[in-house]
Amino acid sequence: MTAVEPERMGFFTDTSVCIGCKACEVACKEWNHVPDDHQGLTGFSYDNTVGLGANTWRHVAFIEQQRPVDVDREGMRWLMASDVCKHCTHAACLDVCPTGSLFRTEFGTVVVQEDVCNGCGYCVPACPYGVIDKREDDGRVWKCTLCYDRLRDDLEPACAKACPTESIQFGPLEEMRERAGDRLRELQTAGIDGAQLYGDDPDDGVGGQGSIFLLLDEPEVYGLPPDPVVCTRDLPAMWGRAGLASVGLLAGAALAFMRRR
């Protein structure tokens, strides 16, 4: 049998049908043996986990909004959205990893090799979305693997499998983009203003996300950056500046010491 290069796989998270059940969070923890995280109440609506991190690879955000629903009435709208690693085309975490622990899989996803990671922590501030983080008692960094092990057995990721409303969809990224576009048009036709796609543009600052989203409000409302850029885009310029500064140091010292005493 000849090996066939698999297509790039990804998520389409349609937040317009998310019901906030957190089955994705639970399924992810169960399948990937992710330790527990914050267990108390945050006061942020029904959110317990606050954001993505080493021990939260799917995070359901809850936003309560008051808005007019009729001429003489105001109503309440509840936005719920399951956030996840974006598996960027240009992934900062992967770029800056000094050990090669972070790598790109045959499915186009970004995964940490836990037997290589030495816990340097560079990927943590590199990620423009605040996804990857260090597990303090363990010392290494962790994040969504897009269920690399399941993908290799032709299974869908645990979160997508568990989602009861198909808010989390999984498949070839191209197909996800098409579905996202179709769904957006459907919502726009229905008069849902504010509906927008997030991370679907291959020309954005990260070269397009491997997990795309349909949001019902601006990304900031969900705690997402509106225009993230991979930090390594400016790296050639930075190396150039550092080179100049190095030469300046050498020249400055030479000048100071070589002048007549």
Partner 1 sequence: MSVDAVTVDGVEGARSGRHAAPEQVARRRRGGGREQRMVPDAEPVSYYGQPVLNRPTWKSRDIAGYFFVGGLAGASSIFGAAAQASGRPGTARVAKLGALGGVTLSAAALVHDLGRPSRFYNMLRVFKPTSPMSVGSWILSGFGPAAGVAALSDLTGRAPRIGAAATASAAVLGSAVATYTAVLVTDTAVPAWHDGHKLMPVVFGASAASSAAGLALVAAPSGESGPARQVAAVASLVEELSLEAMTRSMSDEVGHAYHEGRAGKLLRAAKACTAFGAVAAAVAGHRRPVGVAAGLALLTGSALTRFGVFHAGLASADDPQATTGPQRARLAT
- Closest among 25, 19, 16 to 83, alpha carbons compared: 25
Spatial distance between the Cα atoms of 107 and 96, rounded to a whole number of angstroms:
21
Cβ atoms of residues 130 and 104 within 8 Å: no
* Angle CA 223–156–15, to nearest 5: 30
* Nearest distance from C-beta of residue 192 to partner 1, angstroms: 16
Angle in degrees, CA 21, 25, 29, rounded to 5: 145
Shortest Å distance, C-beta 215 to partner 1: 12
Please identify, using beta-carbon distances, which residue of 35 and 243 lies nearer to partner 1: 243
Smallest gap from residue 222 Cβ to partner 1 (A): 6
Residue position matching structure tokens 């397009």: 208
* Residue placing its CB nearer to partner 1 in the complex, 26 or 221: 221
Question: Is residue 169 within 8 Å of residue 156, measured between CB atoms?
Answer: no
- State which residue, 10 or 228, has the beta carbon closest to partner 1: 228
CA 93/CA 125 separation, integer angstroms: 9
CB of 250 to partner 1, least distance (A): 5
Instruction: Please say which residue, 63 or 155, places its beta carbon nearer to partner 1.
Output: 63
Of the pair 118, 165, the CB lying nearest partner 1 is at 118
Q: Output 101 or 109, the one with its CB closest to partner 1.
A: 101
Measured CA to CA, the distance from residue 96 to residue 235 in angstroms comes to 10
Least CB distance from residue 62 to partner 1, whole Å? 10
Q: Of 110, 114, 103, which Cα lies nearest the Cα of 141?
A: 114
103 CA to centre of own chain: 15
Minimum Å distance from CB 238 to partner 1?
Answer: 5
